[in-house]
Amino acid sequence: MALLPILTAPDKRLKQKALPVADVNQKIRQLMDDMLETMYAAPGIGLAAPQVGVLQQVIVVDVGSEQAEQQQAAPLLLANPEIIRAEGELPWKEGCLSVPDHVAEVLRSASIQVRALDRNNQRIEIQAAGLLAVCLQHEIDHLHGTLFIDHLSRLKRALILQKLKKQKEKEKE
């Protein structure tokens, strides 16, 4: 296993669409395992492949005890995740490893059903509510080049991106 560098906004690679995985082979399993290790080390509760510069539809999620309550095996390592049902509304204060030091409230669906391939290349369906539903929606967004700040007003987004840009310039010095 290996730790992968996490891209931070603004970065055009975070705005690109990821491609579906043909099947979950050894290479994809390795990517999933490396992503999970990277997520735990960060630490975070979700990570999408574009955040480590890989434009493939792969996400990893582990929201801990809440996930266990919902009887979803934790962690979730998924390829080609797709939301097939969404209900209700749930505002949630979100952060992102690619948008360090910023949180903002985003309106998400309260409960969702997701179809995906698991680490064994098996088709699975996941019912999720609460934090797990929010986290899955956030990570699936990444696969479409969407960050949580893209759900905010243009002004709020511009302010956050400006701060992140300054921070990056400082780190370069």
| Chain residues that interact with Ni ion, rule: CB under 5 A | 96
CB 65 within 8 A of CB 77: no
CB-count burial class (<10 Å; 0-12, 13-18, 19+) for 5: exposed
* Closest of 35, 48, 128, 149 to residue 83, by C-alpha: 128
Of all residues in this chain, which one has the CB nearest to Ni ion in the complex?
96
Measured from the CB atom, the residue of 5 and 122 that comes closer to Ni ion is: 5
Q: Catalytic: 139?
A: yes
Q: How far is the CB of 97 from Ni ion (least distance, A)?
A: 6
Measured from the CB atom, the residue of 52 and 117 that comes closer to Ni ion is: 52
Q: How far is the CB of 13 from Ni ion (least distance, A)?
A: 13
Active-site entry in 94, 139, 169, 171? 139
Measured from the CB atom, the residue of 28 and 96 that comes closer to Ni ion is: 96
Q: How far is the CB of 5 from Ni ion (least distance, A)?
A: 15
Could you tell me the sign of the dihedral formed by the alpha carbons of 17, 19, 24, 28, in that order? negative
CB-count burial class (<10 Å; 0-12, 13-18, 19+) for 35: buried
Residues labelled as active-site residues: 139
